[in-house]
Structure 1
Amino acid sequence: MFRSAALAVALLLTPLAARAEILRQKMVHDGIPRSFRLYVPDTLDRFPGPRPLVLVLHGGGGSAREVRYSTRGRFDELAEAHGFLILYPDAVGRIWDTGGGEISAGLTPRRSDAGFLRAAIAAVTRDYPVDRDRVFATGVSRGGMESYALACGTPGLIRAIAPVAMPMPEASEKACARGAPMGFLLVHGTADPFVPYAGGPINLGRQDRDRVLSADATLAIFAGRNRCEGGTDRRIGHVIHTDRKGCAEPTGFYSVGGGGHGWPGGRKVLPGGRAGPVNTDISAPDEIWAFFSRF
């Protein structure tokens, strides 16, 4: 249920905002207070019919506010230009419980973040003109990990995902390798110091926790699920864009040569260059929206 009556009334009475708004919503899910921010572009009423909804999931240690900063507000600008809504959710304690893996097993309290995200989507869809066939999810690092868990664990809810700096977690492989075709785009840097491009344990400093598949293996799994038959490569500076062909749903990969851990084209959020270089050959939000707009 919503805990902020004023915001709930705003949602119910003015679904088409007179100006761009970033609304902070509060709700209780499974007995735990939760929150998310909803970006409503002031251009929304210029676009006919139901509109896409894009979930943008922050990384571990981040927040809804932080991910808007680290992406330079570019998703908001794209929403104004193309008429879609953005849901920026907050994780409890700034870390997503993806439902599997060592990190989630050690979280207190355990919670269903997938359940919370489903409830948040339902709340927005109830009060705004959301196209249920065009709900998308992207996220960086552990936010990308949560996008796999949400989409593969809730068939039919998410049309496509675009994880950044996060190939497929081993904990999600079984669920993600099967099922109906689903759009997929991966963005990952070859020099990511935390999440290995070639697969293996995630490096969290003093210890390695959870394991991911390689970027290439991740793409291969979704290419198989989506029945792709070929592909083309295009170089953009240090980035190689692979666009698989003949797929039941669009499938692609941006391999960011020399790129570190974060959003290409975004801001550095960790001190001392710990996350590695930020690539500026592409803007991840622009490429991700270009991908989502194919649906």
Structure 2
Amino acid sequence: MHILFRALCSAAVIGLAGSSLSQVAQAQNEAEPEGILSVERFPQDKQMRRYRLYSPASVDKFNGSRPLVLVIHGGGSTDRGMLKLDKGQWNALAEKHGFYVAYPNAVDKIWDFGEGLTSEARGKRVDDLAYFSTVIDRISNEKNIDQQRIFATGISRGGQASYFLACNLTDRIRAIAPVAMSLPTFMTNECRSAFLDPSASGKKIGLAVMNGTADPQVPYKGGWITVFRKKRDIVMATEQTIAFWRKLSGCKNSGFDQTTVDQPGDKTSVTIKSWTQRCETAPVKLYTINNGGHTWPSGLQYLSPRIVGETSKDISAAGEAWSFFSQF
């Protein structure tokens, strides 16, 4: 929904999705040799779906099967928009560490989870669970993908998509890193069932959340997601999301590791809490971006801070997410 929701349209969507990708190309050129960014298409429900796949040139330097990271755009944006927002950082990381990056693309720029007010308001419904599953299948059939190291991250509604995949493709997704998004209340039952049902696989999903305390669209303390005074879906408070996931992951109630990052030159700082050593099955981590907005840390400031809030430069969302994923 909400980084570049429809209501933000023109300037934002043009800025992220329609303009030159020169910044992306420049970032990729810094990693030598340069890999291949391809556009892949396949038919689904009488329409063509697409995604972009970054295949690093360095992959042959690494032994065995390699990880796959799904980097998911927010509402109103596209796969191209996500590349622009991230400034090519995921592709540079893929070259350095030898993994594949997929950039999924939603129909009409909005993901359909089959539930929730935003999905129900769509004129044309889309089976995006089948879409994501097909994307993973296609890449796995073409590349040597480690099926135990498939990860998802995304911003805003792309962050919601990360939760959606964790709770509906539990046997495939190993960890997620949502940005500017807490757990939607309409997903709590399916997440609880996926992790606690005796018939489930029993595998837990690692979680790292990066949320801004001054996000004007997705409230850090929970409540209605609001875009230009229009209410969308309801999310848990950030701390409540973490508590919920910690319980599912068997984390101990006492103690956590905490650090603070505050680089000069921006108006934010980041408090990092980690339960990595205190969870029985999967680590949980929280990045509280103090005074951070509805933005991608170290990414493009796609709209004025007066509209979406500040973009933190204290951390890199891509760098921190990969650091978290690389534990697995």
Count of residue correspondences: 278
Whether the 8 Å contact between 1:198 and 1:213 is mirrored in structure 2 is yes
Using the TM superposition, give the Cα deviation of residue 270 of structure 1 relative to its aligned residue in structure 2, in angstroms: 2.5
- Partner SS state of residue 249, structure 1: coil
Overall identity of the aligned pairs, in %: 39
2:256 is matched with which residue: 225, 231, 248? 231
1:116 pairs with one of 131, 142, 150: 131
Root mean square deviation, CA, Å: 1.2
Letter in 2 for 1:239: V
Letter of the 2:131 partner, please give it.
F
Q: Is the 8 A contact 2:170 2:205 kept in 1?
A: no
The structural deviation recorded for 1:31 is 2.3
Counterpart CA distance in 1 for 2:298 and 2:305 is: 18
SS across alignment from 2:60? helix
> How many Å apart are 1:150 and its aligned residue?
1.7
Distance 1:30 1:253 in 2: 38
Stretches of structure 1 lacking an aligned partner (at least 5 in a row) = 1-17
Return the offset for 1:19: 5.2
Q: Deviations along 1:9-62, whole A, 9 cap, x unmatched? A: xxxxxxxxx951111001112223110000001101111100000000001111
Matched residue, 2:229: 206
Secondary structure at the counterpart of residue 111 of structure 2? coil
CA contact (8 A) 1:177 1:222 kept: no
Please state how far the C-alpha of 1:232 moved relative to its aligned partner.
1.2
Secondary structure of the corresponding residue to residue 44 of structure 1? helix
Q: Is 1:83 matched with 2:98?
A: yes
C-alpha distance in 2 between matches for 1:206 and 1:246: 40
Counterpart in 2 of 1:51? 66
Q: Which residue of 1 aligns with 2:4?
A: none
Offset at 1:272? 6.2
Deviation at 1:271, TM superposition (A): 4.6
- Verify: 1:256 aligned to 2:271, yes or no: no
Give, as a single letter, the amino acid of the residue that structure 1 aligns with 2:310. P
Equivalent position of 1:144 in the other structure: 159
Q: Distance in 2 between matches of 1:277 and 1:144?
A: 18
Please state whether the residue corresponding to 2:134 is helix, strand or coil.
helix
| Cα distance change of structure 1 residues 273 and 21 upon mapping to structure 2, 3 Å threshold | farther
Q: Name the TM-score, length of structure 1 as normaliser.
A: 0.92
The separation in 1 between residues aligned to 2:183 and 2:61, in whole angstroms, is 37
Partner residue of 2:26?
none
Moved over 3 A (4+): none
Q: Which moved more, 1:146-155 or 1:40-49?
A: 146-155
Larger CA deviation: 195-204 vs 174-183: 174-183
2:278 — aligned with what? 246
Q: Distance in 2 between matches of 1:272 and 1:265?
A: 14
